[in-house]
Chain A
């Protein structure tokens, strides 16, 4: 609850700050302070400190899983702002508004991680989505950005419609919005319920850009200003997954055997399309868009697994994937040229950027001693534990091997090719922050229990 309240208030605060404060650095620092505050009070809530006591009538449940994810989301946002907040100035003059929108997204995320009724789920997804439609089109004079924004809006509304229909059908079948009532149908689901669940599944898959509902993702991620793509592709995506897994545990798990095959098909398609298409990209930004689809395929394994390991896995995955991708994007924003060739010879000119970027890429590829390894390890382990679907796991690791191809292309460009790759500017503070992020990734890659421990204690 703490996080919802603070982020909502801070969002309003940020909106007005643009009127009263003219110095951009002050606005920026205000936002950073706000995220820090959210983080601190969210951690406090994990230790039973509540700012206010509100009876949510069981519409929101604040358990350790949701709260831990909130901490990860705020932590990642903090790093994101520290790394990339300055670059928002290049998008347009309305920095205060951009930051305000980001705070509203955070409010949505905090609700998504704690919803207990479908109504709250719908609300949270909408609160997350609408600011993102605006941020996508924030570069008003960029045609591609406008196209992306409109596309995102249309597709997003479409999927929201499907979601609402699903919720309506489920309400019709159970007479309640509460997720725990959904699971109570012991004699299996009737056709209405089934149709509702299917529509809900489709809508959620849409939001996390799982194949075959992924078509909006590359265009939107590519068209949006890079600094906002970074946020969308990481924190937001992970949050929707957390919502998905909460929903799944409550609603689908009772009839898991039936849904497993559906999920398996989605995973196969997502991994295949994401990885294979990423191989053919020439722009790193677009490659990262497809890579985010591919990574979503792995996060789906957490749904598939449905056990304690899966929950630990999705937490780790959210952290590992967010940290690494935010880092890569932070460097990408500074690059003069977004193609793979633009990275040629970067290691000569900016050894530190190249080294940290390498760690981020290795983490995404899932090399041991980086957080990405344990993220993949946990979600795959969760699936293996269930037996019978070993072919899916083998397919997934082969796809992971494909992913090495396009992640390493960046490393090859940076280290093994001569070229003029360089960045516009990189302050010492920025470099420091990159090193900290890389350090966190290595730390989690050696001791993942630093994070997963908090799920239980």
Chain B
């Protein structure tokens, strides 16, 4: 029951909001729906954590042998929790932002949440593809209507990119469907043994879609523009949650299905990831625009996750799981600050800011914590994930280049410290500028959301065990299906 409600509440809420004209009511309803989803997601982890409420299997397309089969395993629960938690936080943090035709904005936001939930819940390949595409449409409209100056072109680039990827994935899905005796069922895909030769090209047919989503260098070019031009609330959805779709899909739909292809191309993908990490970090260092800096930082972080994934190691994969959640939470915090500053001072140029720490100490403290989590300082959640990922890459059994990979990724971490700390310095310390001279503290709603995030950063940084336990079953079973192929 919980599984289907996680999709239904935002979906129906979204359609309902199209009819609500009043801005205040729309905001309230959206927050209510998002909070309800968050509560449900937490309930699914605690009081109603049983098979019956977490799974649902209905007849859908009998002639195609496709079923409306949704369910939550550990990884699904973790990502649904991330999706469920991020939306109320976004709504609260951007409470004072005004959008033209606000009811439509919130309606599309909820619809995108429904799509994302569907992606994480689907246990049937066709259903998965359905939601994969449907999550994109609301975001397309959100960014194109409410975005920045060059929004239409940037968003369209994003759309075409992902659409090409998903169509190739669709061909892959159809192909596997026939190999699996006309079944879309996840389990029957796992039990499938494809010829290694087939897997070698099938891997790319599927992986390109996921690589575009993450994004992996050199398929990342849509990302900085799209992040910059979208309204920040939407950017948060894209970079906090949507990019996790790519990592998630590799874990659930790619690695156990085409393990041989996965091993064969592991080093190639790792090389792309390393290039991406270094490249994005170097560019991030030179950015003056706050949003673009965070965008490039996100490419670097996703690159590391992707690389750890291809290490095919238990510790590494656990790290990826943990980091998916941590990165989601941390980057949401960074975007919130970026948005609050832009709303307040009308600029995202870091060179035009400075000395904000004296004007707004609360914001400064909270941002420093989030930023330190972003560079993976011990005691923050970022450290746990990255440490485990490094451990996985280093001790990986499937690659000869584990040490090289780790060293290269380590450089990325150092660079990430450089640009993150430079960002803090430029915004909060040094000489105040004309803009910040009359600065006043940001709204309490932003601080509240940030405080929640900071609390989560510390909780999971100090006591990561529950989160790791949650995903450990999934990791074990995925690795089991991957091992059987060697």
**A interface residues, Cβ below 8 angstroms from B:** 312, 362, 367-369, 377, 380-381, 384-385, 390, 393-394, 397-398, 400-401, 404-405, 408, 412, 415-417, 447-449, 452-453
Closest residue on chain A to residue B126 by CB atoms: A377
Find out whether the CB atom of B151 lies under 8 angstroms from the CB atom of A377.
no
Render B174-194 as a binary contact track against A, CB cut-off 8 A, 1 for contact. 110110000000000000000
* Contacting residue for A408 out of B60, B134, B159, B167, CB 8 A: B159
B466 sits at the interface (CB 8 A): no
User: A172 to B139, alpha carbons, bound, how many Å?
Assistant: 61
Closest residue on chain B to residue A355 by CB atoms: B18
User: Distance (Å) between the CB of B18 and the closest chain A CB?
Assistant: 9
Find out whether the CB atom of A398 lies under 8 angstroms from the CB atom of B178.
no
Which A residues are CB-close (under 8 A) to B175?
Answer: 384, 390
Give chain B interface residues in 144-169, CB to chain A under 8 Å.
144-145, 151-152, 156, 159-160, 163-164, 167-168
Say yes or no: A397-B171 contact (C-beta < 8 A), given A368-B129, A408-B156. yes
Find out whether the CB atom of B130 lies under 8 angstroms from the CB atom of A384.
no
**B interface residues, Cβ below 8 angstroms from A:** 60-63, 129-130, 133-134, 137, 141, 144-145, 151-152, 156, 159-160, 163-164, 167-168, 170-171, 174-175, 177-178, 205
Per CB-CB distance, the 4 closest pairs between chain A and chain B, nearest first, are A397-B167, A368-B130, A401-B164, A368-B133
Find out whether the CB atom of A412 lies under 8 angstroms from the CB atom of B129.
no
Say yes or no: A412-B134 contact (C-beta < 8 A), given A397-B170, A453-B63. no
User: A347 to B358, alpha carbons, bound, how many Å?
Assistant: 47
User: A415 to B142, alpha carbons, bound, how many Å?
Assistant: 11
Which B residues are CB-close (under 8 A) to A408?
Answer: 156, 159
User: A369 to B127, alpha carbons, bound, how many Å?
Assistant: 10
Which A residues are CB-close (under 8 A) to B63?
Answer: 312, 448-449, 452-453
User: Distance (Å) between the CB of A361 and the closest chain B CB?
Assistant: 12
Find out whether the CB atom of B168 lies under 8 angstroms from the CB atom of A405.
no
Find out whether the CB atom of A385 lies under 8 angstroms from the CB atom of B178.
yes
User: A447 to B62, alpha carbons, bound, how many Å?
Assistant: 10
User: A397 to B62, alpha carbons, bound, how many Å?
Assistant: 25
* Contacting residue for B144 out of A415, A448, A449, A453, CB 8 A: A415
Pick the most buried of B61, B63, B133, B156: most chain A CB atoms within 10 A of its CB: B63
Find out whether the CB atom of A412 lies under 8 angstroms from the CB atom of B144.
yes
User: Distance (Å) between the CB of A309 and the closest chain B CB?
Assistant: 9
Closest residue on chain B to residue A412 by CB atoms: B152
Closest residue on chain B to residue A446 by CB atoms: B60
User: A408 to B178, alpha carbons, bound, how many Å?
Assistant: 32
Which B residues are CB-close (under 8 A) to A362?
Answer: 137
* Contacting residue for A380 out of B61, B134, B171, CB 8 A: B171
Tell me whether chain A's interface is mostly helix, strand or loop, or mixed. helix
User: Distance (Å) between the CB of B200 and the closest chain A CB?
Assistant: 14
User: Distance (Å) between the CB of B166 and the closest chain A CB?
Assistant: 9
Pick the most buried of A312, A401, A405, A415: most chain B CB atoms within 10 A of its CB: A401
Which B residues are CB-close (under 8 A) to A397?
Answer: 167-168, 170-171
Find out whether the CB atom of B141 lies under 8 angstroms from the CB atom of A415.
yes
User: A453 to B60, alpha carbons, bound, how many Å?
Assistant: 13
Find out whether the CB atom of A369 lies under 8 angstroms from the CB atom of B130.
yes
Say yes or no: A404-B160 contact (C-beta < 8 A), given A384-B171, A447-B61, A453-B63. yes
Which B residues are CB-close (under 8 A) to A448?
Answer: 61, 63
Find out whether the CB atom of B133 lies under 8 angstroms from the CB atom of A367.
yes
Which B residues are CB-close (under 8 A) to A398?
Answer: 164, 167
Extra A-B contacts (16), CB below 8 Å, given A394-B171, A397-B170: A367-B134, A384-B171, A384-B175, A384-B178, A385-B178, A390-B171, A390-B175, A397-B171, A398-B164, A398-B167, A400-B167, A401-B160, A401-B163, A412-B156, A415-B141, A416-B152
User: A397 to B137, alpha carbons, bound, how many Å?
Assistant: 18
Closest residue on chain A to residue B152 by CB atoms: A416
Say yes or no: A367-B137 contact (C-beta < 8 A), given A393-B171, A415-B144, A449-B61. yes
Find out whether the CB atom of A369 lies under 8 angstroms from the CB atom of B134.
yes
User: A404 to B158, alpha carbons, bound, how many Å?
Assistant: 12
* Contacting residue for B145 out of A380, A416, A447, CB 8 A: A416
Which B residues are CB-close (under 8 A) to A367?
Answer: 133-134, 137
User: Distance (Å) between the CB of A426 and the closest chain B CB?
Assistant: 20
User: A397 to B170, alpha carbons, bound, how many Å?
Assistant: 9
User: Distance (Å) between the CB of B179 and the closest chain A CB?
Assistant: 10
Which A residues are CB-close (under 8 A) to B152?
Answer: 412, 416-417
Find out whether the CB atom of A401 lies under 8 angstroms from the CB atom of B151.
no
Which A residues are CB-close (under 8 A) to B167?
Answer: 397-398, 400-401
User: Distance (Å) between the CB of A198 and the closest chain B CB?
Assistant: 31
User: Distance (Å) between the CB of B204 and the closest chain A CB?
Assistant: 11
User: A397 to B134, alpha carbons, bound, how many Å?
Assistant: 18
User: A377 to B175, alpha carbons, bound, how many Å?
Assistant: 12
27 chain-A/chain-B pairs, Cβ below 8 angstroms: A312-B63, A362-B137, A367-B133, A367-B134, A369-B134, A377-B170, A380-B171, A384-B174, A385-B178, A393-B171, A397-B168, A397-B170, A397-B171, A398-B167, A400-B167, A404-B159, A404-B160, A404-B163, A412-B144, A415-B144, A416-B144, A417-B152, A447-B60, A447-B61, A449-B61, A449-B62, A449-B63
User: A384 to B164, alpha carbons, bound, how many Å?
Assistant: 18
Which B residues are CB-close (under 8 A) to A390?
Answer: 171, 175
User: A390 to B60, alpha carbons, bound, how many Å?
Assistant: 27
* Contacting residue for B174 out of A368, A380, A401, A452, CB 8 A: A380
Say yes or no: A415-B145 contact (C-beta < 8 A), given A369-B134, A384-B175. yes
User: Distance (Å) between the CB of B52 and the closest chain A CB?
Assistant: 25
Which B residues are CB-close (under 8 A) to A449?
Answer: 61-63
Which B residues are CB-close (under 8 A) to A453?
Answer: 63
User: Distance (Å) between the CB of B129 and the closest chain A CB?
Assistant: 7
Closest residue on chain B to residue A415 by CB atoms: B145
Closest residue on chain A to residue B167 by CB atoms: A397
User: Distance (Å) between the CB of A238 and the closest chain B CB?
Assistant: 21
User: A448 to B130, alpha carbons, bound, how many Å?
Assistant: 14
Which B residues are CB-close (under 8 A) to A404?
Answer: 159-160, 163
Which A residues are CB-close (under 8 A) to B151?
Answer: 416
User: Distance (Å) between the CB of B122 and the closest chain A CB?
Assistant: 12
User: A314 to B129, alpha carbons, bound, how many Å?
Assistant: 22
User: Distance (Å) between the CB of B432 and the closest chain A CB?
Assistant: 38
User: Distance (Å) between the CB of A112 and the closest chain B CB?
Assistant: 26
User: Distance (Å) between the CB of A278 and the closest chain B CB?
Assistant: 15
User: A120 to B278, alpha carbons, bound, how many Å?
Assistant: 69
User: A384 to B60, alpha carbons, bound, how many Å?
Assistant: 22
User: A380 to B172, alpha carbons, bound, how many Å?
Assistant: 11
User: A191 to B133, alpha carbons, bound, how many Å?
Assistant: 49
User: Distance (Å) between the CB of B284 and the closest chain A CB?
Assistant: 29
